[in-house]
Amino acid sequence: MPKVSVIIPIYNVKNYVKKSIESAINQTEKDIEIVLVDDGSSDGSGKICDQYAKMDDRIKVIHKENGGLSSARNIGTASAVGQYVMFLDGDDYLKENAIERVLQVMEEYPSDFIQFMYQEVKEGDIPVIQTKFNKQYQVHTSKELFENLYKLGGVGASGATKLIKRELALQIPFENILHEDEMWCTRAFQKALNATYISDELYCYVMRNDSIIHSSFNRKKLDKFKVCETRIEVLNRLGYERLLSLEYNRLFGNILTLYREAKQANDSVALQEIKKEFINSQKNILTKANLTRKNKVIFKLMSINYQFIKLYYLYWKMKGF
């Protein structure tokens, strides 16, 4: 049985997938399984997967109808046989020593998951070699897990920056929404898990201009509200008041950001959904959030008359953000 199953969901990334697969093949740790999940690609990515499977018997290929990233990850996890799983997006790649390093940490600090860092790279760039490492540390409680989630931000929420016990990944599958990683953390961190955090940049996150996250507005971005609402319910139930305040801050920030993007896209349906979210959460933001001075002013104006949100939009345009 291999120690680690590297699960690579692949959907129409023909120009990137070879580098992604080869970064798994060329790991210094060889006792691995590589699960390529072709999520209904139409650009030839699936054929590339089959070609690599013929060259390396550690590779398993699954072809399925398109169902999204979460579906591909879940199917890959269900078919994997490794004790641990790592998720690698088909347009990103791993540092050569990534798996060797996380297994070394896992042996020293037995954990439900190991959290590591990523490095953002532009298409075609060579990643910078990291030469300095800070201390690693371990946490054991639900509260500590959520605190680290807010402290680390995006890298802490990412499903791709973790070595996870396969049984944990099976217990908590990914939901089919745009911000599936944040939702996974929200659901998983309700448990008192053992987690080890290291500062090693082991994952290379390729900044593609045409990715969903970095593309122009689409309504799937409103999934952020579902994540916030679920997080608020969990933090409220667990009694983590300070973290609850941070989440209401984040919710209000999402309302402003999504309004700006929907306004630019002239999406009237999305604008109505954003307005409804503000109205429904207005009282709790007022009583529980600790907003910045600027956001306090914006919030007060919106509370008097929601149409004042247009002043925020005009301010944003004038600043040229």
DSSP character string of 172-187: SPPPSSTTHHHHHHHH
* 169 CB-near residues (< 8 Å, 6+ apart): 77, 85
More confident residue, 32 or 218: 32
Q: Give CB contacts under 8 A, 24+ apart, made by 215-220.
A: 216/261, 216/264, 216/265, 217/258, 217/261, 217/262, 217/264, 217/265, 217/267, 217/270, 219/267, 219/269, 219/270, 219/273, 220/177, 220/178
More confident residue, 145 or 319: 145
Measured CA to CA, the distance from residue 173 to residue 152 in angstroms comes to 22
Task: Say if CB 96 and CB 26 are below 8 A apart.
Answer: yes
User: Does residue 190 carry a pLDDT above 80?
Assistant: yes
What pLDDT shows up at residue 71?
97
What pLDDT shows up at residue 199?
94
Q: Place 314 in a pLDDT band, splitting at 50, 70 and 90.
A: confident
Structure tokens at 252: 């209000």
Chain-centroid distance, C-alpha 144: 19
Other beta carbons within 10 angstroms of residue 54's beta carbon come to 9
User: Does residue 320 carry a pLDDT above 80?
Assistant: no
* Percent of the chain surpassing pLDDT 90: 86
Measured CA to CA, the distance from residue 116 to residue 163 in angstroms comes to 8
What digits encode the pLDDT tens for the residues 153-171? Answer: 999 999 999 999 999 999 9
- Name the H helices within the chain: 17-25, 45-55, 69-79, 98-108, 142-152, 154-157, 166-171, 180-188, 223-238, 241-265, 268-288, 293-304, 309-319
What pLDDT shows up at residue 125?
65
Measured CA to CA, the distance from residue 266 to residue 256 in angstroms comes to 15
What digits encode the pLDDT tens for the residues 68-123? Answer: 999 999 999 999 999 999 999 999 999 999 999 999 999 999 999 999 999 998 87
Measured CA to CA, the distance from residue 305 to residue 183 in angstroms comes to 32
If we measure between CA atoms, which residue out of 221, 210, 306 comes closest to residue 264?
221
What pLDDT shows up at residue 211?
52
Q: Place 317 in a pLDDT band, splitting at 50, 70 and 90.
A: low
What pLDDT shows up at residue 132?
56
What digits encode the pLDDT tens for the residues 213-246? Answer: 445 788 999 999 999 999 999 999 999 999 999 9
Instruction: Supply the mean pLDDT for the chain.
Output: 93
User: Does residue 247 carry a pLDDT above 70?
Assistant: yes
What digits encode the pLDDT tens for the residues 199-214? Answer: 999 999 998 665 544 4
Task: Specify the DSSP element, H or E, that contains 6.
Answer: strand 4-10
If we measure between CA atoms, which residue out of 176, 4, 3, 155 comes closest to residue 75?
176
